[in-house]
Each structure stands twice: as structure tokens, then as C-alpha cells.
Amino acid sequence: MISAGCGPVGSFVMATDAAVTATLASAGYDFVVIDREHGPNDIRSTIGHIRAAEANRTIPLVRVLENNPGQIQATLDAGAHGIVVPKVGSAAEAAAALKASRYERGGRGMCPAVEAARWSAGDTWAEHRRSSNENVIVVPLIETRAGIDSLRDIAAVDGIDFVFFGLADLAQDLGIDMYGDVGRLVDIWNEAVEVVHEQGARIGAPLGYGFEGGDFGTVESDLTLLKSAAVAGLARHRDATSRTPANGA
């Protein structure tokens, strides 16, 4: 999609019910980020989300709690098409996350009897290994001062094709207000876009904050979208009922 000039749009998924992912997919979202850093999803509910995404032809990514090889392996074994890694602050950290996602010496552990491998027999393992190593996406979250300072090196790591601009934690790390100082964040973003594109990688960000020139983005999260719709619907119909005379009077 990106190569065709169309920026993919996704949303974070906090709820544990896989129907939420199916709903977002049916609404046309190109990908979901199942949140295991801030959301309550465990490995069982994550598998449900992944299956719902695949059944409805959207891409399931998972944000892990931390840059931990065990967590990355378990998430990919569950079938995630890619991982979003919080607070990546150096090229070494990005490379470590990438290594944990690859079937290679010292990397991701081999096990055919998992969801991602479709419980493969020996004759299908080689294809799974090849496909996984070629297609699993690793997305460093750039959300600290260290990440911004090291962004050029992070984006230059061979195999890191995407990074994501995490404005909330970045604002906190910089000691500024995410909303009141959004202009400063936009300035940082504009420099980040140039740096990442110079390295041949792609960069995404939350949409609706003035971050222009990116390659992909996210629209809020499932539950914030639900609340926004609920508030709007309540206001609209509350207003309508307040104008309706009681008992026909």
C-alpha cells in the first residue's frame, strides 16, 4: 500500500474481545496493534485478536510490554505478523529486537508446534521459517529523547523498515505537555521524517495531531473510538429527548 502511495491506517486494540478487531477490520482499517503494553490482553486473548484480524484480512501487529526476547518469541509464536517495541533508544536495542524475531543462531527459538507455524510437519517448516524471516515486521517505538537522538542509527539497522513516533511518552520524557506543546512535537516529527526517509525506512504516527508527511498512522484506540461515538450519540439523542414534551403536553 505504501509503495502505491496509499498510507495504511490502523488503530490500537485495548479490549480483550476479538470482536473488536473484527469490527475494526470490517470498517476498513488496514492493521491493528493489539496492545500488551498498556492493555489487559494476555496471550490467549491476543491469539483471538490475531485470528480475527486474519479472518477479516487486516494485519495483526502486537505491542509487547518491553524489548524482551522471550516476550517477542511468544508473541510471534502466537501468530502476530509483527511486533511494536516500546522505548527503543539505540541501534543496538533495535537490532536486539530484530534478532529476537528471526529464526537464526541466538535468535527466535524454533518450534513447529505453534500457531504461527500452523503446527507444521517437517515438510512445511522450511517454508514457514523462510516466510517468517522475510515478512515479520519489527517496529521500534521512538518515544524517548534517546530514541530521537539515535533515530538515524535506528532507522539504518538492516531489517528495520518501519518506526513509529510515540508522542505521549516522548512528551513525558522531554518534560513537555503533549497537547499544549504539540507545536514542538511537530517540529521534532518533521526532522524525524527527514532522517528516517534518508535511511530508506518509513515512519508512522498517531493521526490528527498535525504530523504530516508520514507513511502510515493510527486513529486513537478501540475504546477511545467507542467512547467518542458513545458521547456523540448520547449528546445527540439526549438533546432530542429534551425537546420532546412529556405525555404529549
How far apart CA 214 and CA 190 sit, in angstroms, is 9
- Rounded to a whole number, what is the distance in angstroms from the first to the last CA of the chain? 58
Q: Quote the distance between the C-alpha of residue 153 and its chain's center.
A: 21
Non-local CB neighbours of 245 within 8 Å, separated by 6+ positions: none
Q: Distances in Å between the alpha carbon of 164 and those of 112, 170, 192? A: 31, 11, 10
Residues 52/21, Cβ–Cβ less than 8 Å: yes
Task: Point out the catalytic residue in the list 38, 128, 197, 237.
Answer: 38
Place of cell 467507542: 226
81: annotated active-site residue: no
Non-local CB neighbours of 216 within 8 Å, separated by 6+ positions: 2, 7, 8, 9, 10, 30, 31, 162, 202, 204
As a whole number of angstroms, the longest Cα–Cα distance in the chain is: 80
The C-alpha cell of 14 is what? 485495548
Q: What are the catalytic residues?
A: 38
